[in-house]
Amino acid sequence: MKKVLPIVIVMLLIIGVGGGVAWSLLAGRYKPTEEVLDYASEMGLAENEYAVTLNHEVLKEDKAAAIDGRVYLSMALVTESINTRFYWDDNEKLFLFTTPTEVMKVTPDQQSYTVKTWDGSSDADEGYMIVRTYNGSYYVAAEFVKAHTQMDYAEYTEPNRVVMNTKWEEQQTVTLKKDTAVRYKGGVKSEVLRQANKGEKMVLLEAYDDWSNVVTEDGFVGWVSNKALQETQIETPEAPAFEAPEYTSIHKDYKINLGWHQVMSTAANSSLSSVLSSASGINTLSPTWFSFADTEGSVTSIASKDYVDTCHAKDIEVWALFSNEFPSDDGTRYFDSEKTDQVLAYTSKREKVISEVISYVTKYGIDGINIDFELISQEGADDYIEFIRELSIACRANNIILSVDNYVPEYTYYYNRREQGIVADYVVIMGYDETPAGSDTPGPVASLNFVRKGITDTLNVVDKSKVINGIPFYTRVWCTTADGNVSSFACGMAEALGYLTDHNVIPQFVEDMGLNYGSYTSEKDGNFYEIWLQDATAVEEEMKMIKEFDLAGVAEWKIGFESGSEIWDTIQSYLQ
């Protein structure tokens, strides 16, 4: 027994030491680290740079800079994410901010700047440089951005960071029930952003089993243990006081019935008499009078004072159409996306365009401008909406109605319709070309579902009191050859029906499309022809929808393609 006892003691000692080691290892594994994250290093900040948090998101690829004691934000962040009414002209190196009555024009690294109104311009000075050059890029003073934006903004040091909010939507919040660490990542071994105290409130981004992703009041986005959190609450933060600029608009106290009148030359204005004799009930005409002369901002006009005076004598307003067509070598005109970008991307060229157009409008006594810029590129969309903003200033100052045409949002999703609906008087949907001319598959010009979607998508961002829906008077005749080649051509209502009548085809109503359809195989060429008619039936179905949504009115492309007076009677009956 005496010999066994020492052995037992030794074994117990070994077990004890091993257990202690094991416990020490386990304790070390689960012991929370107190190491504080080197935030500046993690964010890649130089000495005078600030990390940026916008709407509860840390923008690791974007940094602010401290210059002469002020914090400056990157140009891209300001113009793309904070306030899209700030605009950077990279060609002429100008920073612009447009209001309902003026354009502020800022040159980098200069303290004074220009305020341009329709009547003239003046110099202004904020007491600091609004735009600065830093590391070869351009930065905007956060102070200036905040003065023109509804936003929360705060600067912090140790570590350097800028915290901003431009959204005040409903959110979940949590309150700490005990002191805890806010960590960079979930888990006790993650570095600490800072210590947080009992009672501190945080925004909850996402909750998991053991850890929650939160935003602290001073803008840290990190993680806290769920053991430190009380139950969540739903709150809506209060937006900061901000006096937004007021955009006034011209609104007619009647439904608009606008006919687009295609005029190809000055002499063609003489066709007005036949238009007026046939288009009963129309109260607005939009002749195709203005287009680009070149890529320098010059404008071509074929406007006629007699045309305007004749319309006014019959209580018809004239909203002259301005298209982004350019002259070709053969004398014809065509829409050109690239050339349009070459004009609109330069502030001086936009100013020239606006000056010339307004000069023509006032010279001829024209009531409004109808902008029909097509094929705008996605890259040029910001330049385009800036042009509309700047043009609206001139129109507002001269009591000129500004309307803007757009193909349905599905086709032009990157057009800023929300802004159009604020700065322009009317937003026009070109509710057609569902199946465009170059399609490999025949189809209708404007089926009911297509028209409805164009309207509802537009009404998501534009008030109905400003929305005009454009309807087609043209039909496409589709031809499919024996080897499968597909082509089409456009024609008026009577001509399209004539093709079916000549081949003894009685069109059938397709209920879900709201259109009459007919097809035939030509004995002459052996080709298969299909026609979805834009006729009196189609017009009535479209007008029912315009009335259903209580839109501001209707526009028709184009006058002369209608089949007779019954079309105008139908339109007028739904505008009462």
pLDDT in tens, 444-485: 999 999 999 999 999 999 999 999 999 999 999 999 999 999
**What is the total residue count of the chain?**
576
Nearest to 515 by CA among 496, 532, 502: 532
Cβ–Cβ < 8 Å for 402, 371: yes
Task: List phi, psi (to 5°) of 158.
Answer: 50, 60
The string of pLDDT tens digits covering residues 109-136 is 999 999 999 999 999 999 999 999 999 9
Q: Output the pLDDT for position 1.
A: 53
Judged against a pLDDT cut of 80, whether residue 20 lies above it is answered with: no
Q: What is the pLDDT of residue 25?
A: 45
Looking at the fold, whether 230 and 139 belong to one and the same domain comes out as no
Residue 494 falls inside a structural domain: no
For residues 394 and 400, the answer to whether their CB atoms sit within 8 Å is yes
Residues 228 and 182 in one domain: yes
User: Do residues 189 and 265 share a domain?
Assistant: no
User: Phi/psi at 143 (nearest 5 deg)?
Assistant: -60, -40
* pLDDT, tens digit, 9 for 90 and up, residues 375-402: 999 999 999 999 999 999 999 999 999 9
- For residue 139, pLDDT beyond 70: yes
Residue in 60, 34, 53 with CA at minimum distance from that of residue 156? 53
In a domain, 394, yes or no: yes
Beta bridge partners of 172: 204, 234
Helix segments in 368-510, DSSP class H: 381-397, 417-423, 448-459, 493-502
In a domain, 196, yes or no: yes
Q: Give the orientation angle of helix 536-548 with respect to helix 448-459, to 10 degrees.
A: 30
Are β-strands 299-301 and 284-292 bridged in parallel, bridged antiparallel, or unpaired? antiparallel
Evaluate whether residue 320 is within a structural domain. Answer: yes
Same domain for 290 and 159: no
Closest to 58 in 3D by CA, of 206, 222, 235, 188: 222
Expressed in percent and rounded to 5, the helix, strand and coil fractions of the chain are 30, 35, 40
Would 29 be classed as within a structural domain?
no
User: Going by C-beta distance under 8 Å and a sequence separation of 6 or more, which residues neighbour residue 301?
Assistant: 289, 290, 360
* SS3 at position 436: coil
| Same-domain check for residues 152 and 184 | no
Q: Is the per-residue pLDDT at 36 higher than 60?
A: yes
Name residue 510's beta-bridge partners.
515
109 within some domain: yes
Residue 163 has pLDDT above 70, yes or no: yes
Backbone angles phi, psi at 36, to 5 degrees: -90, 135
Indicate whether 16 pLDDT > 60. Answer: no
CA pair distance 390, 118, nearest whole angstrom: 10
Q: How many helices (H) and strands (E) does the chain have?
A: 14, 35
DSSP character for 458?
Answer: H
Q: Are residues 52 and 136 in the same domain?
A: yes
- The torsion angles phi and psi of 5, rounded to 5 degrees, stand at -55, -45
User: Which of 138, 165, 192 is the last residue before a domain boundary?
Assistant: 165
Does 122 share its domain with 187? no
Sorting pLDDT into bands at 50, 70 and 90, what band is 339? very high
Question: Which tokens go with 357?
Answer: 């157009």
Both tokens assigned to 87: 């605009």
Dihedral angle computed from the Cα positions of residues 546, 410, 289 and 260, in that order, rounded to the nearest 10 degrees: -30
Residue 405: give the domain boundaries: 256-471+541-573
Check residue 576 and give its pLDDT: 86
Return the structure tokens found at 541. Answer: 């179905």
Cis peptide before 558 (omega within 30 of 0): yes
Rounded Cα distance, 431 and 555, in Å: 10
The whole-model pTM stands at: 0.93
Domain match, 328 and 397 both: yes
Domain end call among 165, 188, 213: 165
Dihedral (CA of 228, 230, 232, 235) sign: negative
Residue 288 covered by a domain = yes
What CATH number should be reported for the domain holding residue 181?
2.30.30.40
Side-chain half-sphere exposure of 404, counting CA atoms within 13 A: 26
Domain containing 418 — which CATH number?
A: 3.20.20.80
Q: Which of 25-39, 140-154, 179-193, 296-310 has the lowest mean pLDDT?
A: 25-39
Backbone angles phi, psi at 547, to 5 degrees: -70, -40
Radius of gyration of the chain (CA): 33
Tally of domains in the chain: 3
Q: By C-alpha distance, which of 330, 279, 272 is closest to 305?
A: 272
Say if residue 69 is exposed, middle or buried (CB neighbours under 10 Å; 0-12, 13-18, 19+): exposed
The residues, ordered by sequence, that sit 6+ positions from 506 with a Cβ below 8 Å of its Cβ are 500, 518
Helix (H) or strand (E) holding 62, with range, is strand 57-67
pLDDT, one tens digit per residue, over 415-453 is 999 999 999 999 999 999 999 999 999 999 999 999 999
Q: Label the pairing between strands 49-54 and 161-165.
A: parallel
Q: Which residues pair with 348 in a beta bridge?
A: none
d(CA 426, CA 62): 38
pLDDT at 18 over 70: no
Res. 23: pLDDT tops 80: no
Segment 65-116, tens digit of pLDDT: 999 999 999 999 999 999 999 999 999 999 999 999 999 999 999 999 999 9
Give residue 268's pLDDT band: very low, low, confident or very high (50, 70, 90): very high
- What SS3 class is residue 339? helix
Residue 48 lies in a domain: yes
Spatial strand order in the sheet of 201-207: 192-196, 180-183, 221-225, 211-215, 201-207, 171-175, 233-235
Q: What is the largest CA-CA distance in the chain?
A: 131
With cut-offs at 50, 70 and 90, classify the pLDDT of residue 57: very high
Give residue 331's pLDDT.
Answer: 84
Rounded distance between C-alpha atoms, residue 419 and residue 416, angstroms: 6
- Residue 354 shares a structural domain with residue 377: yes
Interatomic CA distance for residues 84 and 148, integer angstroms: 11
Looking at every residue in the chain, the average pLDDT score rounds to 95
Q: Are residues 451 and 561 in the same domain?
A: yes
Residues 100, 158 within the same domain:
yes
Residues 442, 546: one domain? yes
Q: In 411-465, which ranges are continuous DSSP H helix?
A: 417-423, 448-459
Q: What residues are paired with 88 via a beta bridge? A: 95
- Residues 169-187 have a mean pLDDT of 97
